[in-house]
Every structure is written in structure tokens, then in C-alpha cells.
Structure 1
């Protein structure tokens, strides 16, 4: 099987399930750090094999999407507020830049991450919009750039998806992938632990998701992720409704993201 990674859309769990289906065990550590026993675009010698496989559609190809409201909020808590696996802040000088230019607070692990989460998140949204719209003060980060951008590179380079499923219906979606392929080791998706490399190193979300989005922030989110809402059938009018409101039309996705 071929999986096009979309950051913040259950990619750790999917990677570990693929690893397990080949080797009968999970990768010890963060699957993003694995350098063997699987092909990845980041491994140079894998690239020609992946390219050949994808362009000839030899394997079942899939990806996974997530509600844009939940995804951007998760990026904020994980990448901006959280301490990363290496014990440092994400991307070194990024957080100090946000504190200085946008007045964002991120809290401190020593004091239990006390800060105004809603105000800070809304300011982060302005920053995310600036990076995506004007590529300043930096290029957009993969964790908050639009899913349609990630998904389109696969199509533009000759790939075709057999399945795009929802993070919010993860077990059903992942099971539909496993049902479509032959694996060395049987995977019972319902029994697989959830792998979340971002959990436990940042503040807990203190409010329901809809509290973080007022009228202006909903407008900003739609401006940034219009294509994601439309193609992947999420509810733009209600941040509190994380579930999709329709089924993904694969032909529409290929037509609109293939140009």
C-alpha cells in the first residue's frame, strides 16, 4: 500500500499500522524517525521505487483528512505550545518570533502552562494566515498548510488515490484500507493503540473547540482552508461539529487537485 502523509491527520498511527502489517511488531519510538524496514520519500534510495510504484498504480493508494478547525487547533497546541521530542521548542526561534510579533503566549511547563489559550490561539491564526497568504514572516509549515496542497502533489506527480478517509472515522477508514490489501500480518484496527507523538508534552485544551473560534477566526479559517472544507466535506459553519457532512467524491478530488 502507498500512503500520502498529511501532517496532523493520524499519520503516526497509520505509519505504525503499516509497519506492523509488514513486521508483526510496532516500531520502537516515533515512526517518523524510522529509517529502515519501510520505504519513505525522505529516504533517497526509496524514491525511484516509490515513483515507479505510484505512477504505474501498482499498490493501493490512500490518505486521511481531518476537520480543518480541529487540525489547526491541534497544530497550535502541539507545535506552538508544546515541548518537542528533543526537549526543545518547535523550530527553535519560531515561538520567540510569535511572542514578539503577534503577542502570543504559550505558557511554561514549569508553571503548568497557564495562559489565555483562546486569545493566543486567535493570534496564532493571524500568523498562520500570513504564512499561507503572503509567505511571511516565513513559509507556511507543513502542519498547518492546507491538506489539499499535500494531497495534490501525489496527483500532480501521476498518482491516483483509491481511498481518502476521515480521521474522525479512523477505525472504519483504516479497516477499509486493510480489507483492500493483503498483508503479512493481520491487523485488528480496533485493537491498535493510538499513536500520538504530540500528546503529553504541552498544555491540555481547556475549552470546547467551538470556544476558540469567533466570527473573525471562522472567517480566517475559511479563507485559509476553503478548498479543504469543500473537497473533504466538513462543516464550515459550526466549529463544534467535527464530523464530515458528506462523502468525499474521489473523482472531484482528482479533477480539482490534478491541475
Structure 2
């Protein structure tokens, strides 16, 4: 939440959250946070900061600020998670979650492009094995709890509703400028934001190897079955095309009433 309480944003990992956080920071302070916005300990209210929780809780309960979130095609989101978090070296110079990648190499036979993530490897085969691991974490919570970067978007979105919030807007990363413009047009901010001049703060860019194939090449019948098992609700609620992995664009309008009804249990 901005310190001015102009807007509240429910973070969904791998859905332009770095850029949105920086826009919120700028809208209050007239400058961007110097560094990864996820590391910011000032200038934004965050649930992870104990001193922010009471302010966020009060605001969400009274629905006194404009509330929004942003979602992404499940096919491209899970691919991004694989290349960034599994194959990539993180900004601290180490592998994500310490022993996670060695575990995947040992238990699932995944390759990640060597020590630095830059060597060639069979991306399609490794990604499909990673999907088996994702399914295991979500279905059986083995060999670990599901990670926020590949757990379903609907799960992230629902916590805000269950705790008393109501979204004014849910938009797609695929039409980011249009969606973010609608948010900014609906609120008063201490500093105006020129979206055309905002850089993309893709904090995961360059962490891992480049995707070598079109999106659809990574998903065979079995992969699509696993994706359906994990993310079917995401496709339905946020109006993405399950049948065509090559089509990253939404195929309908998000129905906010439907989202609140189905995720508010």
C-alpha cells in the first residue's frame, strides 16, 4: 500500500510486481526506489513489515483505498518461474532456496545449464520434469511446500478477499499499460506518473538462460494435463486460453463479481 494510502496492491509473484511496486513508490515520492523494490524497508507499506500491518489491515477492512492486482497467462508465468528461479543465479549470487536445485537434479533429473546457468541443455525435457515437481508440491506438498512463484494466482488473489478486501480492478500483464493506466486514472497521487516513461523493472531479467523455443513447444499433452490440474481455476477466472499455449492474450473480460464469489470462500 502506498504511504499516502492512494492504492492497495495484492502482489502476485511473476506478474509485473517489481514494476508495479516501483510505480507505487514513485507516485508517492516522485522518484524510484534505488534497488530492488522487494528489498525496500521504507517508502511503501508492506505486509512483511510489522509496522505496516495495522495500517494495511484497517484500510482493507474499510475498503477505503482503490485495490487492484495483476495476473498473467499461466503458461508463460510457469515458464518464467522455471528459467528465473530454477535455472537462474539469484541477485545474491546463489541458487534460489539453497538446496532446491540440487534436490531437483537428484530427484527429478532436471538440468539447469551448469553451475552458472549458461550452458546448453534440453530445456523442454527439464521444464516438463520441473512441472512434475510443481504438481507434487501443490497436490501433496512433497518434497516441499509449494513456492509462491509457482502456486496458483487464484490462491494469492483470494487471500485479500477472504480477509475482507474487494478488488476495484484486476488487469493483465499482457496489456499492462492499459490496466495500470486505469488504476492511476482512478486515484489521486502526490506525484503524477507518466506510464510511457516508466522503465520495466524486471528484476528476474538475465538471472537464467534465455528461452530457446516458442512457449507451445514446452507443453505436450501430459504437460497440459498437469497445467490443467494445477492452474485450471486461473484460466477460467482470469480468462486465458488453456487450449492454445501459443496464445498468451486473454480471451474474455475478467468478471470481478465472479472472482469475488468464487475466491471468497
Q: TM-score, normalised by structure 1?
A: 0.99
In the alignment, is residue 207 of structure 1 matched against residue 239 of structure 2?
no
Task: Name the residue aligned to 2:4.
Answer: none
> How much has 1:113 moved relative to structure 2?
2.5
Runs of 4+ in 1 over 6 A off after TM superposition: none
- How do 1:69-80 and structure 2 match up within 5 A? 69-80=75-86
Per-residue deviation, residues 138-185 of structure 1 (Å, max 9, x unmatched): 000000000000000000000000000000000000000000000111
> How much has 1:37 moved relative to structure 2?
1.2
Task: Name the residue aligned to 1:67.
Answer: 73
Task: Name the residue aligned to 2:101.
Answer: 95
Which of 112, 123, 131 is residue 125 of structure 1 equivalent to? Answer: 131
- How do 1:232-243 and structure 2 match up within 5 A? 232-243=238-249
8 Å CA contact 1:146, 1:225 repeated in 2: yes
> How much has 1:201 moved relative to structure 2?
1.9
5+ long unaligned stretches in structure 2: 1-6
> How much has 1:110 moved relative to structure 2?
5.0
8 Å CA contact 1:113, 1:202 repeated in 2: no
8 Å CA contact 2:118, 2:208 repeated in 1: no
Which of 142, 145, 149 is residue 151 of structure 2 equivalent to? Answer: 145
**Superposition CA RMSD, Å:** 0.8
In the alignment, is residue 253 of structure 1 matched against residue 259 of structure 2?
yes
Task: Name the residue aligned to 1:84.
Answer: 90
> How much has 1:202 moved relative to structure 2?
1.0
In the alignment, is residue 34 of structure 1 matched against residue 40 of structure 2?
yes
5+ long unaligned stretches in structure 1: none
* CA–CA separation in structure 2 for the residues paired with 1:67 and 1:201: 21
> How much has 1:64 moved relative to structure 2?
0.2
